[in-house]
Structure 1
Amino acid sequence: MAAHDRGAVRSVAEDLFESAWQFDFYQAVRLLEMLSPGKEPVGRAMDPADDAVRFSARVSLAFPGSDVEEIRESGADGPAEMVVSFMGLAGVGGPLPAPYTELILERVWRKDTALRDFLDIFNHRLVSLMYRVARTRRPGFDFVSPEKGRFARCLFSLMGMRTEGLRDRMRIRDRSLLFYTGILAQTPRSVTGLEAILSDYFQVPVRGRSFAGKWYDLEEDQVTRLGISGQNRALGESALIGSRVWDQQGKFELHIGPLALAQLLDFLPTGTAFTPLCQLARFYVGTESDYDIFLIPDSGKTVQPGLGGPEGSRLGWTSWLSVPGTETEFSRVRLTSCVAIREEASDAP
């Protein structure tokens, strides 16, 4: 029952049957298929009576105002009937000459629908084929969730997640990655692509810096040792000074921010966005490169040092010590290999 200040709430099915002309053809057919779960999808049944929708074409010499002319409810478990104003053999847009349309209209006026019904046998098949073609090309026609549809399987294959065992391994919904298939499918991977994915997914500014470099410790069998029982001691060939080497392309940096306090807390190791950030970055770059994350607090939106409070002061994460009477530039929070460390604050010049 309607309230005093507004009309009664109408269902989509009621609007569909009473105002069919307001609906898009493909959406109307999809709704009729959903309203008839016991029927076969359009164009799939051996017997047209088992289809969810029965199509008939409008025969008229007037130009139509919409693709869907009328939808009649099914009776006695039969299919719903949809009258369309396109793909018909007769009428304004039909291939048959105009005299045939006039003949059909004259016979319908005399209550003889035999010729019109005969042509609808072919009209039903033609419209059904057109809908089936559109359904195979449009992802929105799938009745399942996006990550389980036909198109999703193709997209997962492009990004390396075709089989079920490769999915649901991150704290990020797999369906969220479908939007970034174009970037994830590109090779080689780039910092620009990672910036685009992270900034769009987390809705924060992200800037990458390539070739930050890192030290790699040498294995025992690679270290230079002198003497009779030494190893790797040929100068200019295998000899090395020290027990580690520098790899300029072994690490890159991600600078995220400026961040408000709530955003900064989310990206800390104790926050909800930290693990998804690490997993998404690792999924994109693989295991070949390491990375550092720098969180840039928004100046003036950090916590003043002090004890107590609901959040408290996390020295080096959300608060920094400063010299009284001087302006202090808030330092970045550096997270190395997904483990947070503190970077000292520096005075502003």
Structure 2
Amino acid sequence: MVVDEYLIPEQAEKYNFYQLIELLAKSSHVDIDNLLNLPPHKEFIQFISNPSLAFVTRDISAVTFKDNKIQIKLPFLSLTGTHSPLPNYYLEDMAWEEIQQDYRLTALLDLFNHRLATYLYKIWRKYRYYICYKHSGEDEFSQRMFALVGLGKTSIRQSLQVNQSKMLSYAGILASSGRSPHLMASLIAHCFDLSSVKIQSWQFRRVAIPQQQQNRIGLANSVLGENFIIGTHIPDYSGKFILTIGELSREKMEQFLPTGSLHHALHNFVSFILRDQFAWDLQLVLAQNQLSSMTLGSDTGCYLGWTTFLQEPPRNPSIMLKMQE
């Protein structure tokens, strides 16, 4: 890899150690995850030690360009200098050799010092997710978090049609078995950028009884108290909820209509976050002054049953859509 000395920023010695490595990686357009995993002959950053026994005042002693490599002299975590575990007489000899520009012993120890500094940076970066994160969660840790919540495949994430990065902030909650109404409302509001989302539980519905389970006198399902049910439907309050999205503008509301761009995205998203598939309806509540009375030929679309009112619309008009039976 060909490296230019102009990659070195001005006054590089004043930078923080970790900050400088990040900056060099971005300036060289090299993936930071691969930067420190290159074979030795391809590395363009070389860490060397500072044998000086003077008091350490900064992370970096010097940054130079030599042999097509950027050499970063470090005063910490090395086998030389004030932080070395070696006996003092070794350190004094190496400090004297440094003054005499004799680098034989120091160069040998720098083989180990380079790897020590490399591992230090890897450890520091590994536990700072905000630094490792890549756009759309393409970094390795984000991919593992996606897999934890059932979104390991790219095709599954794309089918949800929501910002994938927003799902990562709820990875811990989505990995759990519970799905409270408050959690669902928070997820939908966050991923679709909505200001008012509520879940109304325990909604009434009529559930059709399969024909083979209906009673036929003298034939089947005719035992009182066990399997005898009158009619073809039964009432149910435990299998349905209403998702209410409020304070919508007209443009935003039209996006959630069956003809809008967010209708199928919302349906797929709710189906994903629900552990058990419930029946549910979608209630869209508009903010004030978003609709006017119907006028034929106007530029605003008049959708029958959705945005049309024979008289003056209510203060906060709403519509109800069946999403899943």
Do they superpose with TM above 0.5?
A: yes
Matched, 1:312 2:301: yes
Shift of 1:97: 5.8
Distance in 1 between residues matched to 2:232 and 2:37, nearest whole Å = 71
Matched, 1:156 2:146: yes
Correspondence for 1:269 among 233, 243, 258 = 258
The change in CA–CA distance for 1:164 and 1:203 in structure 2 (over 3 A counts) is closer
Could you tell me how far apart the structure 1 residues matched to 2:153 and 2:130 are?
Answer: 22
Matched to 1:206, the amino acid is V
Asked if residue 184 in structure 1 is aligned to residue 174 in structure 2, the reply is: yes
| Pairing 1:232–2:221 present | yes
Contact 1:292-1:337 at 8 Å conserved across structures: yes
Measured in 1, the distance between the counterparts of 2:132 and 2:5 equals 19
Structure 1 residue 223 corresponds to structure 2 residue 214: yes
Cα deviations by residue, 1:113-152 (Å, 9 ceiling, x for unpaired): 3343333222112112222334544456669755443213
The answer on whether the counterparts of 1:264 and 1:297 sit within 8 Å (CA) in structure 2 is yes
User: 2:5–2:65: 8 Å Cα contact kept in structure 1?
Assistant: no
Indicate which of 73, 77, 85 corresponds to 2:65.
Answer: 73
Which letter maps to 2:36? V
- Unaligned runs of 5+ residues in structure 1 are 1-11, 340-349
The answer as to whether partners of 2:306 and 2:319 remain within 8 angstroms in 1 is: yes
Deviation at 1:53, TM superposition (A): 1.7
The alignment partner of 2:183 has SS state of: helix
Paired position in structure 2 for 1:26:
18
Counterpart amino acid of residue 207 in structure 1: K
The separation in 1 between residues aligned to 2:127 and 2:93, in whole angstroms, is: 38
The amino acid of 1:209's aligned partner reads Q
**Partner of 1:82 in structure 2?**
72
User: What is the identity percentage for the equivalent residue pairs of Structure 1 and Structure 2?
Assistant: 25
**What letter corresponds to residue 12 of structure 2 in structure 1?**
A
* Cα separation, partners in 2 of 1:289 and 1:74, compared to 1, 3 Å: farther
Letter in 1 for 2:233: R
Match of 1:117 in 2: 107
2:279 alignment partner AA: D
Q: SS state of the match for residue 18, structure 1?
A: coil
Is the contact between residue 232 and residue 239 of structure 1 (CA under 8 Å) also seen in structure 2? Answer: yes
Partner residue in 2 for 1:63: 56
Shift of 1:30: 4.5
| Per-residue deviation, 1:285 | 0.9
Partner SS, residue 28 of structure 1: helix
Distance 1:38 1:194 in 2: 37
Q: Give yes or no for contact 1:58–1:91 (8 Å, CA) kept in 2.
A: yes
User: Following the alignment from structure 1 to structure 2, what is the Cα–Cα distance between the partners of residues 24 and 320?
Assistant: 64
Q: Distance in 2 between matches of 1:320 and 1:250?
A: 32
Q: Distance in 2 between matches of 1:175 and 1:43?
A: 27
Structure 1 segments (4+ residues) deviating >6 Å: none
Residues 233-278 of structure 1: per-residue CA shift (max 9 Å, x gap): 1111111111011221211111111112222222222222222111
- The AA in structure 2 aligned to 1:215 is R
Q: State the distance in 2 between where 1:196 and 1:235 align.
A: 46
Give the match for residue 42 of structure 1.
Answer: 36
Looking at structure 2, the residues matched to 320 and 94 of structure 1 have their Cα atoms a distance apart, in angstroms, of 82
Deviation at 1:221, TM superposition (A): 1.0
How many residue pairs match? The answer is: 318
Which aligned pairs between 1:244-259 and structure 2 lie closer than 5 A? 244-259=233-248
Gaps of 5+ in 2: none
Within 5 Å, give how 1:318-333 maps onto structure 2.
318-322=307-311, 328-333=314-319
What is the deviation of 1:33?
5.0
Structure 2: distance between partners of 1:68 and 1:309: 69
Whole-angstrom CA distance in 2 between matches of 1:83 and 1:294: 64
1:140-155 residue pairs with structure 2 within 5 A?
A: 146-155=136-145
CA distance in 1, matches of 2:124, 2:273: 34
Q: Contact 1:295 / 1:332 at 8 angstroms: preserved in 2?
A: yes
RMSD of the TM alignment (CA)?
Answer: 3.3
CA distance in 2, matches of 1:113, 1:236: 95
1:69–1:197 CA distance, 2 compared to 1 (3 A): farther
Counterparts of 1:170-181 in structure 2, within 5 Å, are 170-172=160-162, 174-181=164-171
Kept in 2: contact 1:296–1:333 (CA 8 A): yes
